[in-house]
Amino acid sequence: DTGVSQDPRHKITKRGQNVTFRCDPISEHNRLYWYRQTLGQGPEFLTYFQNEAQLEKSRLLSDRFSAERPKGSFSTLEIQRTEQGDSAMYLCACKTERLTDTQYFGPGTRLTVL
């Protein structure tokens, strides 16, 4: 257990529905990252927050994807109008500002779009 929690752990939805995932990072870890991992692939970076500021979002897969971190603590990732191709594991990671620190990953949310 890395101390990073994600909710829900599993989500099954129908195509066209909106879904929202939550990530609670380790307290005092001001950097937060979202990744997507599809079957047989490594995680793919999506977006990054430093405190509440979203400093990188060009890697979000489409305009159906959005993320927030309103108070610089927990973060949410929303997918609107889900498609079957969105089925994947969505991972959250966090780290501190320390140079030698690394990203600590949560257990992920597995999304299945029917």
Partner 1 sequence: AQSVTQPDIHITVSEGASLELRCNYSYGATPYLFWYVQSPGQGLQLLLKYFSGDTLVQGIKGFEAEFKRSQSSFNLRKPSVHWSDAAEYFCAVGASRGGGADGLTFGKGTHLIIQP
Positions that interact with partner 1 (CB under 8 A): 2, 4, 31, 33, 35, 40-46, 48, 55-56, 59, 91, 93, 95, 98-108
User: Toward partner 1, which CB reaches closer, 15 or 48?
Assistant: 48
Q: How far is the CB of 5 from partner 1 (least distance, A)?
A: 10
**Contact present, 21 and 90 (Cβ < 8 Å):** yes
CA 34, chain centre distance (Å): 3
Neighbour tally for 108: CB within 10 Å? 21
User: Toward partner 1, which CB reaches closer, 17 or 97?
Assistant: 97
Secondary structure of residue 14 in the 3-state scheme: coil
Please identify which residue in the block is written with the tokens 């320390």: 98
Q: How far is the CB of 72 from partner 1 (least distance, A)?
A: 16
